[in-house]
């Protein structure tokens, strides 16, 4: 069974690698449908996500966002100074805009989708050599950052967060039959039901984090883990297991061991807290920010130091792209040295591959 699942995953990665390399222009509607169809959400949820993404792109691309590499000028959206979206006058609206760079479109749309196809994440890294990361303004980051600030999670919250769900949205759905009726898959009055469901949902995160299908998939695993004592509980309620409480880190460590495809930004907040240096001052420089960016993208750590030459090549490209200073091989080499441990310079580096 595992071999079969692995084979399917490899086929999905190959599909997305070909999709990313395809230079034929497509519109945003088709691009989103290609991406979301591989996550197999209920069709009504997929339509709601596409509509929401269209409106979010319209709203968030109005102003220049140089800090995060996103820019809109004269109906052209650029990411990292590469034209990604351009208005299509034959099909007006953001969903009708033409995608000119599929990799940059993926980098852009990653900011708005929590349940992102794992195969596409892997394919993107293979094609571009970079990891997909959330920028500071992403609502996906905002949601997960807020939920990791709680000292305790209930069993229900654990199952929600590792299933790309907002527990408040799930509670609302379970308590309101009207909302459940809107989720029915019948074709009759589909647009009406979709509009009504969007109006009913309780908050801005509901439309992003609403995957009851994934919640149901993980529910039995979480319930068995709590009742079976798979991790330490702060409070155990056998009569209502979902209200048992636990430390978020313990729950996430268990989910990681189980291979559950939760959003990786949770690792950043909960599983790397002890190794992330805390800087009390708010002072930074473009060079420090670039070094942090490369550390994240290349996953540099004590166990994975990487080769200096490969890291320097990444810095050299970023210095050209960011236009902070005239390109300098010496500066790129120096930055590559500074993101590695001192012992790595003495031939004792560890690296993947």
Q: What pLDDT, in 10s, does the model give residues 102-118?
A: 999 999 899 989 999 99
> What's the rounded Cα separation, in Å, for the pair 76 and 128?
22
Distance of CA 166 to the CA centre of its chain: 15
Tell me what pLDDT residue 182 has.
67
Query: How many CB atoms are closer than 10 A to CB 306?
Result: 23
Task: Identify whether the C-beta of residue 11 lies closer than 8 Å to the C-beta of residue 152.
Answer: no
Task: Identify whether the C-beta of residue 86 lies closer than 8 Å to the C-beta of residue 25.
Answer: no
Contacts with 313 (C-beta within 8 Å, 6 or more apart), sequence order: 332
At 308-326, the pLDDT tens digits run: 899 999 998 888 887 777 8
Q: Which helix (H) or strand (E) holds 79?
A: strand 76-79
Task: Identify whether the C-beta of residue 50 lies closer than 8 Å to the C-beta of residue 43.
Answer: no
> What's the rounded Cα separation, in Å, for the pair 102 and 84?
7
> What's the rounded Cα separation, in Å, for the pair 123 and 16?
6
Tell me what pLDDT residue 276 has.
45
Distance of CA 14 to the CA centre of its chain: 20
Distance of CA 53 to the CA centre of its chain: 14
pLDDT at 166 exceeding the cut of 90: yes
User: Tokens in use for 168?
Assistant: 């408040």
Question: Shortest CA distance to 172 belongs to which of 163, 164, 183, 186?
Answer: 183
Q: What number is the average pLDDT over the span 31-48? A: 79
Confidence of residue 189 (pLDDT cuts 50, 70, 90): low
> What's the rounded Cα separation, in Å, for the pair 34 and 5?
21
User: Tokens in use for 20?
Assistant: 């990313």
- Positive or negative CA dihedral for 255, 256, 258, 262? positive
Q: What number is the average pLDDT over the span 172-195? A: 69
Tell me what pLDDT residue 85 has.
84
What is the residue-averaged pLDDT of the chain? 83
User: Tokens in use for 121?
Assistant: 């994440």
> What's the rounded Cα separation, in Å, for the pair 258 and 53?
31
Tell me what pLDDT residue 348 has.
44
Give the least confident one: 10-24, 73-87, 212-226: 73-87
Q: What number is the average pLDDT over the span 131-156? A: 93
Tell me what pLDDT residue 72 has.
56
- Residue 205: DSSP 8-state: T
> What's the rounded Cα separation, in Å, for the pair 290 and 335?
9
Three-point CA angle 230, 233, 238, nearest 5°: 85
The backbone torsions φ and ψ at residue 246, rounded to the nearest 5 degrees and listed phi first, read -150, 165
Residues in the chain: 353
> What's the rounded Cα separation, in Å, for the pair 199 and 184?
16
């Amino acid at each position: 069974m595992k071999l079969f699942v692995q084979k399917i995953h490899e086929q999905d990665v190959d599909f997305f690698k070909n999709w990313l390399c395809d230079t034929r222009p497509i519109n945003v509607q088709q691009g989103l449908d290609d991406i979301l169809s591989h996550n197999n959400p209920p069709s009504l949820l997929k339509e709601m996500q596409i509509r929401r993404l269209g409106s979010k792109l319209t709203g968030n691309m109005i102003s220049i966002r140089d800090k995060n590499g996103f820019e809109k000028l004269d109906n052209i959206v650029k990411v990292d100074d590469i034209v990604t979206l351009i208005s299509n006058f034959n099909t007006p609206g953001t969903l009708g805009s033409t995608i000119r760079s599929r990799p940059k479109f993926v980098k852009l749309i990653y900011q708005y989708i929590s349940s992102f196809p794992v195969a596409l994440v892997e394919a993107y890294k293979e094609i571009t050599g970079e990891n997909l990361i959330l920028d500071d303004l992403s609502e996906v980051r905002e949601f997960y950052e807020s939920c990791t600030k709680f000292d305790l999670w209930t069993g229900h919250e654990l199952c929600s967060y590792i299933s790309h769900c907002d527990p408040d949205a799930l509670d609302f759905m379970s308590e309101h039959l009207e909302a459940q009726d809107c989720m029915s898959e019948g074709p009759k009055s589909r647009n009406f039901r979709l509009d009504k469901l969007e109006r009913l949902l309780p908050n801005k995160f509901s439309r992003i984090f609403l995957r009851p299908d994934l919640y149901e998939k993980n529910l039995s695993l979480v319930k068995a883990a709590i009742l079976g004592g798979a991790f330490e509980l702060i409070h155990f309620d056998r009569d209502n297991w979902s209200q048992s409480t636990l430390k978020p880190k313990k729950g996430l460590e268990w989910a990681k061991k189980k291979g559950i495809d939760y959003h990786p930004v949770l690792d950043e907040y909960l599983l790397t807290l002890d190794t992330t240096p805390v800087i009390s001052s708010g002072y930074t420089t473009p060079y420090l920010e670039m070094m942090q960016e490369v550390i994240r993208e290349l996953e540099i750590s004590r166990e994975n130091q990487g080769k200096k030459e490969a890291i320097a090549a990444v810095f050299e490209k970023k210095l050209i792209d960011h236009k902070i200073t005239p390109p300098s091989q010496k500066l790129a080499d120096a930055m590559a040295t500074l993101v590695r441990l001192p012992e790595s310079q003495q031939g004792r580096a560890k690296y993947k591959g």
